[in-house]
Chain A
Amino acid sequence: MAAASSFANSILTPRRPISHGIRMGVGAVVGGGILLAWCVITYGGLSDPLFMPSPHHVVLAFWQALRDGSLLRNTGASLLVINAGFFLSSLVAIPLGILMGSFRVVAAGLEPIVNFTRYLPVTSMIPLLILWIGIGFEEKVAVIFIGTFFQQIIMIADVSAQVPSELFNASYTLGATRRQVVTRVLLPATLPGIMDTLRVTMGWAWTYLVVAELVASSSGLGYMSMQAMRGLHADYIFVAILVIGFLGLVTDRIFKWIKDTFLPWAEQR
């Protein structure tokens, strides 16, 4: 009785840590439950296999797409586009954002246009981009760039503005010049916030990528999904979704690893 109530206490008290075993167990039960439901629905004949593929069909489709090379080709195409778009966007947004957050004159120049553009859904610009640059690699990179850039610059400007003035004052009283305050205080102080921003906006970039590939494309995981839909191959759509989810998870872990490894001094969030 005492043991049971202490177990209840430990899991029903807000913010109370739970044991590793309980955490893994609960995770396995929920994950397994979803898998089980999927099996029941498909193998139990509760749904039309045309729209809802069974687990082993998805595995077979995955194997098939892997063997004929289409999965790797489309994954490669998507990765190339998202990395190019995200890299270009970050390359411009990081320095501009840092300046915008700390130099009033840069903010005065950029804020009006950035604030206008950030509320424009990038999807509204896709027809124009197709008209201007077609449906190839460059158009999709442009979609990701526009979708990511205006969010990144605002978030990084905020990171830059949040750097405590006391750090600047401390460095001034130690003899720092204005240039040294920028290079030795402002830049390192913004690094953890920039990493967090990149991690969050990378997730959004995946969304823009898939949208761009669904609308008009001849390669990529979104295109693969779209083709599968036209042929009523729901199993291939599942494969594409699962691969996208997996790649998102991997990129997130990579960002976390970079931060933990290179910025060990940053406070964990």
Chain B
Amino acid sequence: MTDPLGDALHRLVPAVAVEPDWADVLARADARVPLHRNRRVWYVIAVAAVVLGILVSPALGLGDRILDFFTGSPAPEPVKQALAFGTNAGDPEIDELMHQQVDSKVIVGQAHGLLAVQTPAGLLRIWGAPTSDGGLCTYMRVGGASSGWLSCETPASDSGPFIGSADERNEGGKTVRFVSGQARDEVASMELRLVDGSTLPVRMVGSFFFRALFPGQEPAALVGRDSSGDVVSELPATLGNLGGVLPPTYPTGPSHQVFVLATDIGQITMELAPGPDRKRCWIVTAETSQSISCRRVRDLEFDLGPYYNPEQTDRIVLVSGLVDKRVRSLRLEFEDAESVAIPIVQRSFVYELPKKHWKTGHRPTRLVARGSGGEIIAHKRVVPDGL
């Protein structure tokens, strides 16, 4: 430290001589973690190392090679425990608002191996267990990692022949990229179209499908075909397009504050900042959490999601986003035919959704953006994919 301020600060508060006490942290946390059951959301779950009766040849190499003998094998106890976590109901009010209320239970007794796939990050094992509402919880773990990822999905009745997404997970500095999801019976085969126009087959095990991605393989679309080979549905498959983890995008320039809200969980601020590739960013900051979204705004972009107080005893739900310069007014419509005008400031908006509009029959349905003459510039459904 060479500058006077640094020297003085170091003198004022000398280094402390206490030692870390992680057990005390865990005791204070009292470890039950509320989680939200969503249509498509990943949880990271640490379980004890699993010993499987599977010997993997080091000569497998990288080739999205499927180890078929893994399929159908009963899941070991720690994996069952991890899958059982998917039953956690989380926050019923938020689930209801997000159209995610699920009464189902994970049928842990039926947990079994789905796939074992060699990926650039190591051998990825995927176990699955059905849920009582016809969905599927999967648990993935790569190599000898001590933690894995839980995902529970229940396809909505209007979700089409399949639901799926591309995802990216990091493990020990290595990245696992893949597409996965669930298909209905009418889908006999799946394929992945890459941005270069080539296609890759996607492995299906029952309703579950999966394909690992390798460097240079950029997904463009998931295609489902029926038994005759006809395309029954096609979904864009850019990373994170249906939930999961979005590739991080950060502001590229200074931010400035546009909104300050006083809420039940404390002060919320919203800042605007430029982003990469002609994107614009909005940053919503609560006391202990922050959401950064950077999008290219053609007409209307928005997020809807909960923000919690530090103790997680209370939460609010915000609708926030950006509009383009043609948009002069914005209205949020609800299931009960009510609607509310949302003020636009500097082509941005943030609105705290009243709790009465979290309930079935009163939830938000769509955002309508209008131009100076009252013409509709854009209208978008407000049906979130997840938190």
User: Are A and B co-members of a single complex?
Assistant: no
